[in-house]
Amino acid sequence: MTPHTPGPSLPPDIRAALDAHTTMTLAYADEDGPQACAVLYAVAAGPVGPALVFVTSVTTRHGRALSGGEGRVAFTAQRDGQEWSALTGLQGRGTCRRLEGEERAAAWDAYRARYPYVEQTERLRQAIERTDLWELRPDWLRLIDNAKRFGHKAEWDMTKRH
């Protein structure tokens, strides 16, 4: 694991938005060009800032792209069906990697806590456990919250020092 230099702490409103949503649209690029996919995520604690964990197989297009490249992605998370005057959601950028060993086990705990139904269906639990578990470590996040004010934004940038 790569050591991290502490950046600014995650603002409470951005953390609350990460916790409020369950699906992110993950954008990536491979040899065939840009693509996006939706995945369910759970928020896990990272050494600095949040880690978003999600399930996908390395045999999917995005799994191959994330395995074969540097793993840089962009993403959004928001609820469907929002009115423009109350639109709330997140934009972000970060790095993805497949988890193994103890890191995978700890991330599974966060994923199962967020989606307890995975444990309640034996067939689903077995299928999910055979699938790869990934971590997305955001290094930049922007919260859009039109409910506070049209165009209201709050940002978190891991690269900026205190």
Rounded to whole angstroms, how far apart are CA atoms 60 and 64? 6
Element (H, E) at 66: helix 61-68
**Overall pTM surpassing 0.85 (yes/no):** no
Rounded to whole angstroms, how far apart are CA atoms 147 and 86? 4
pLDDT, tens digit, for every residue of 67-121?
876 789 999 998 776 676 767 789 999 999 999 998 888 888 899 899 988 888 8
For residue 40, the one-letter residue type is L
What is the pLDDT at residue 126?
A: 85
73: left (phi over 0), alpha (psi -120 to 50) or beta: beta
pLDDT, tens digit, for every residue of 40-81?
999 987 766 789 999 998 888 888 888 876 789 999 998 776
The number of residues in the chain equals 162
What does the longest C-alpha to C-alpha distance in the chain come to? 47
The residues, any chain, with a CB within 8 Å of residue 89's CB and separated by 6 or more, are 17, 21, 76, 77, 78, 79, 82, 143, 144
Rounded to whole angstroms, how far apart are CA atoms 130 and 21? 25
Tokens (6 digits) for 11 = 């603002």
Percentages helix, strand, coil for the chain (3-state, rounded to 5) are 30, 40, 30
Rounded to whole angstroms, how far apart are CA atoms 32 and 34? 7
